Amino acid sequence: MRVALVHPYSWPAVRRGGERYLHDLAGWLTAAGHEVDVLTGEHEGVASGRTQAGRIVTLPVRTPSRLASHGASALDTFGVSVLPTLARERYDVVHSLIPSGAVAAAMTVTPSVYTALGHPSPANPPVRRWSRELFAAAMRFARVPAALSDSAAKGVEGLTGVRPQVLPPGVHTHRFDPDLRARTGPPRLLFNAFAGDPRKRLRVLLQAMPLVLTQLPDARVVLGGGGDPAPELDALEPGVRRDVEAVIDDLGVGTLDDVPGRYRDATVSVLPSVDEAFGLVLVESLACGTPVVCSRSGGMPEIVTGDDVGRVVTPDDPAALARGVVEAVQLAADPATPSRCLDAARPWDWAVVGPRHELLYGLARA
Confidence of residue 152 (pLDDT cuts 50, 70, 90): very high
- Give the pTM: 0.93
Distance CA 63, CA 69 (A): 10
Q: What is the pLDDT of residue 132?
A: 84
Residue 234: is it exposed, middle or buried by C-beta count within 10 angstroms (0-12/13-18/19+)? exposed
One domain for residues 59 and 144:
yes
Distance CA 1, CA 129 (A): 35
CATH of the domain at 291: 3.40.50.2000
One domain for residues 292 and 177:
yes
166 pLDDT more than 90: yes
Residue-wise pLDDT for 9-54, tens only, equals: 988 888 888 899 999 999 999 999 999 999 999 887 787 888 888 8
Average the pLDDT over 263-288 and give the result: 96
Contacts of 307 (CB under 8 A, 6+ apart): 331
Q: Which domain holds residue 37?
A: 2-170+349-365
Residue 242 half-sphere exposure toward CB, CA atoms < 13 A: 2
Residue-wise pLDDT for 79-120, tens only, equals: 989 999 999 999 999 999 999 999 999 999 999 999 999 898
One domain for residues 342 and 358:
no
Check: CB of residue 142 under 8 Å from CB of residue 114. Answer: yes
Q: What is the pLDDT of residue 281?
A: 95
One domain for residues 265 and 324:
yes
Nearest-10 Cα torsion for 5, 6, 12, 13 = 150
Quote the percentage of the chain above a pLDDT of 90.
80
Q: Give the DSSP per-residue string, 111-158.
A: -EEEEE-S--BTTB--SSHHHHHHHHHHHHHSSEEEESSHHHHHHHHH
Average pLDDT of the chain, as a whole number: 93
One domain for residues 137 and 210:
no
Residue-wise pLDDT for 116-139, tens only, equals: 998 988 888 887 777 888 899 999
Residue-wise pLDDT for 323-338, tens only, equals: 999 999 999 999 999 9
One domain for residues 293 and 358:
no
Confidence of residue 182 (pLDDT cuts 50, 70, 90): very high
Average the pLDDT over 273-283 and give the result: 95
Q: What is the pLDDT of residue 17?
A: 87
Residue-wise pLDDT for 234-272, tens only, equals: 999 988 899 999 999 999 988 888 999 999 999 999 999
60 pLDDT more than 80: yes
Q: What is the pLDDT of residue 68?
A: 67
The backbone torsions φ and ψ at residue 206, rounded to the nearest 5 degrees and listed phi first, read -65, -40
70 pLDDT more than 90: no
One domain for residues 16 and 157:
yes
Distance CA 235, CA 204 (A): 10
Nearest CA-CA partner of 343 in 222, 223, 216, 173: 173
Name the domain count of the chain: 2
Q: What is the pLDDT of residue 363?
A: 96
One domain for residues 17 and 151:
yes
The backbone torsions φ and ψ at residue 295, rounded to the nearest 5 degrees and listed phi first, read -85, 155
Q: What is the pLDDT of residue 73?
A: 75
One domain for residues 79 and 220:
no
One domain for residues 137 and 246:
no
Choice among 64-73, 191-200, 293-302, 317-326 with the minimum mean pLDDT: 64-73
Q: What is the pLDDT of residue 48?
A: 82
Nearest-10 Cα torsion for 130, 133, 135, 136 = 180
One domain for residues 117 and 212:
no
Quote the percentage of the chain above a pLDDT of 70.
98
Residue 261 half-sphere exposure toward CB, CA atoms < 13 A: 7
210 pLDDT more than 90: yes
One domain for residues 183 and 153:
no
